[in-house]
Amino acid sequence: MAEKKIDWTNARTLIALAILVGTELVGASWAAGWALSGLFQLGATVGRVMEGVFIVIGFIGLYYFMRTAVEHEPFRR
């Protein structure tokens, strides 16, 4: 079975998409954790924990987004 070659145009598109969407999604998740902990005056420690939980949720969302993007824009042909 022959190894599939990398289509660099699609690969560059996916890399740029991961950087752009990842920055937005993880940044927004982090900000949401910070804002909610400040809104409810939960304290510094609980605030950091909430920021961490929201960042993890952002990375999970990025994972599923990229998984779908790779299905629609394959980089191996």
- Per residue of the chain (77 residues), give pLDDT as tens: 678 899 999 999 999 999 999 999 999 999 999 999 999 999 999 999 999 999 999 999 999 999 999 999 988 88
Phi, psi of 74 (to 5 degrees): -65, 140
pTM above 0.85, yes or no: yes
Query: Residues of 12-25 as b/e, b for ≥16 C-beta within 10 angstroms?
Result: eebeeeeeeebeeb
Nearest to 22 by CA among 73, 65, 51, 53: 65
